[in-house]
Every structure is written in C-alpha cells, then in structure tokens.
Amino acid sequence: MPSPSPLSADDLATALTAGGSGWLVFSLAAILPILWAFAMIMHFARPYILRFLGTLTLRFGGDVWWLSYVLMRDALLTITLALSVIFLMPNLYIGLGLPLTAPLAAVVLLWAMVVKLIGDADDDRRTFQIVSVLLVISSVLYIVPQIYGLESHDQVDALKGIGLDWVPGALTAVGSDGTVNVLAWPILITSMVLFGLTGAALFVRFVMGLGRQSEAGVEANA
Amino acid sequence: MTPDQVSGLFDAGESFIEGTIAAALVALWLLTVALYLARPYMAANVGKFSLRLGADLWWIIYVALRDILLIQVFLGSFIFFYPDVVGGRDLPITGGLAAVCAFSVLLIKLVTKGDADLRWYRIQVLLLGLGATLYIVPYLLGVQVTQIGTDTSNQLAAFFVSSQNPNLALPLCYLSGAVVGLLALVAVIYNLRQGGAPKIGEES
C-alpha cells in the first residue's frame, strides 16, 4: 500500500488552521459542562454561603465573603453565556456537529440572566426560583447532549447491544454517518431568532428607561 | 506532514490535556483531604489573633480555599462522566465514583449545618477519605504502571485502567453520572423549597 503523500505548504497551513479551530471549539464544548457545573454549584450553594455569612463576627468579613461569592457566581454565568454564543454560529454548530440542543441552552441561559437583571434574585424568593428553574433547564439542554451525544460517538457499537446505538447520533447536530440531524436547522434558527429578540427587547427596555431611572434617582435623593 | 498526522497531532493534544487533568487530580485530592485534616490547626490559630478582623480573614480564607478545592476536584473529575474519554484514555477506573464522593460532600455541606454538625462532618470526612482512596489507588497502581511491563503490573493495569477494562469502566461511568444527576436534583429541590435561603435558626 503506498504511503500518503505529504501535504504542500498551503495545504498544510489550511489543515493546521482547520484542525486547530476544530480542536479549539471541541475543547470549549468539552469544557462547558465543567463551567456549567461550576456555575450551578455556585448558584445553588447560596444557603450554605448565607449560613456561613451568619457566623462571621464583623461586617467587613461578611462583605468580603458575600462580594467574593456574588462576583464569582455571576462571572461564571457570564463566561458560560459568552462561550455558548459559539453554538449560534452555523459553521461551527452544523459544520462540526455540536450538541443538538446547545443553541437552545444558550437562549434559556440568556433568559435566566435577563430575569436576574430585571428582578432581584438575591432578595426576591420568586425571582430566585425562576432563575433556578431556567438555569436547570439550560444546563440539562447542554450537558445531556454533550455527554451522551458528542462524547459517546465511540460507544455506538457497545450501545447497540441494548438498542441505544441511535442515542449519540440523535443528540448531536450531525449524526455518526455524517448526515445533518433533521432538528438541527430548526433549533438553530429558532434559537437565533429568540436570542436576537431577547437581546433587542433588553436593549429597548434599557434605552426607554434611561431618563426615568435618573429622574427616579434625583427624586429619591431629594 | 500527511493529513492523518495533522489529525493525530490534535488527538495527541487532547490526550495530553486529559492525562494532565488526571495527574493533577491526585494533587487536588491530597490537598483537599489535607485541608480538611488541618481544621484543628486552623481553629487553634483563630484564637491567637489580637484583632477580630485578622481572625475573620484567616477563617474565611481557610473555608474558601478548602471549599473551592473540593469544587475543583469535582469539576476536574467531570471527564469521568464522558464515555468516550473513559473508554479511550488511561484513567483510574473508579474516578467517577470518587467524583460522586466529592459531590456528596458538597451536597451535605448544602443541606446540613456543615462543620457545626459533628455527625455530618464526620460523614463528610469519611466520604472524602473514600473518594481520595478510590482515585489515588487505581491511579498509582493502574495508570502509573502501564509502562513497567511485568506480569503483575500488566494485571494491575488490566483491572485499574479504564481503557483496558471498559466492561467495568463504562457501566461505572454511566452509574456515576446518574448518581451525580440524582444528587444534583436533591440540591435543586432543596434550594427551590428554601427559596435560596437557609432555614430560620440555621445561621448561627
């Protein structure tokens, strides 16, 4: 059997660039469940954090503890959302075959952050519950297809024995045979529209509230 | 370079990262257990500060460091929930079960009074000891003997290394994922019922 011919300089550059970008995206996709888990742990650690806060004897210590917690919790959610935007990019989502419901996870995460922004999830019990439910839905929409879809492609033969060999293909945008999942494009387009509409609504709300906020602030200070 | 070599280059990069995480987890597990065992020393030092500010900061740093390390152990162990990684790489076979132990400790911290409840604190320490054993023993006696080449080392590796014992490693991988999912559900329900705040009277 003849050995494969070496690539030309241009082809090698293209192959390294394409391979490198694919490797980076797959690495981000693999790291995101970890980021999700970290963000969820921080969000749901709230009772523990508050319990410890009650044991601190100085307001300074309490402020340092609470500030560190809120900063880390919110930064993790923001980073997760920022990285999830890659799932709204057709070349990456369809082209590389990323987790099927990952774009929807990005949208629901955005909704959770919008609720945090316009409500008070720290003081209002109802808002906290809404944010929590949205975060759970979003994390499940991402973590399940990532682990049992993208990270299970090599298990198709093993899963065939129990009749579940269709699961990895059904949970990714591109199946094991290279065909695009019939749900991939509808999910991607719906997610892009919802993401755009949510962002636009948030922007309009902010612009409309600019004057009112400053007037309310002046009245409150007077 | 040929196209296969380019692909192999990136596969090697992935393998290197996963191998490094597995190696780092040994140190993380040891550090976490060490910080738990250091509690009497930390508590003794709190009484030596002449300022309450110093004592508070000392205790905050200790608790934050200890808890963050435990969370990092669990997050690093996330690779043990990925079936392709468990089946394809040389990892300790009970790494997923060790992750379950770490997550159980986090859950106990959430739903009990934590350090103040001696019974649950003992259970936390026991779970940490079990988790560290489940991780470090198969790592040292399995993953780290794959290149020795003797009969004994080959037999140890054939049992303790996930890629060499996929018939046990993959069921453990799915089982660990399911148990962590159930424990996470308990944490979510606890939070939703409490509204994100501890029960009244738990603050002290």
**A127-146 residue pLDDT tens:** 999 999 999 999 999 999 99
Contact B69, B140 (CB under 8 A): no
Distance from CA of B137 to the nearest CA of A (A): 24
* Partner A contacted by B119 (CB < 8 A): no
Count other C-beta atoms under 10 Å from residue B17's C-beta. Answer: 14
- Lowest-confidence pick of A114-123, A154-163, B124-133, B192-201: B192-201
Contact B89, B15 (CB under 8 A): yes
pLDDT value of position B200: 52
Average pLDDT over residues B178-191: 95
Distance from CA of B40 to the nearest CA of A (A): 18
**Signed CA dihedral, A168, A170, A173, A177: sign only:** positive
Q: Which H or E run includes B189?
A: helix B166-194
Instruction: Among B81, B108, B111, B162, pick the best mutation site for testing chain A contact (most A Cβ within 10 A).
Output: B81
Instruction: Among B62, B77, B84, B113, pick the best mutation site for testing chain A contact (most A Cβ within 10 A).
Output: B84
CA-to-CA separations, B68 to A168, B40, B102, B117, in angstroms, rounded: 33, 19, 12, 20
Q: Please, which pLDDT band fits residue B11 given cuts at 50, 70 and 90?
A: confident
Q: Please, which pLDDT band fits residue A80 given cuts at 50, 70 and 90?
A: very high
**A145-203 residue pLDDT tens:** 999 999 988 888 888 888 888 888 899 999 877 889 999 999 999 999 999 999 999 98
pLDDT value of position B203: 43
Q: Please, which pLDDT band fits residue B204 given cuts at 50, 70 and 90?
A: very low
Quote the mean pLDDT of chain A. Answer: 88
ipTM computed for the complex: 0.76
pLDDT value of position A215: 57
Contact A149, A168 (CB under 8 A): yes
Q: Which two tokens stand for residue A26?
A: 């797959």
Contacts of A125 in chain B (CB under 8 A): 195-197
CA distance B173 to B191: 27
Contact B144, B48 (CB under 8 A): no
pLDDT value of position B8: 83
Average pLDDT over residues A81-109: 94
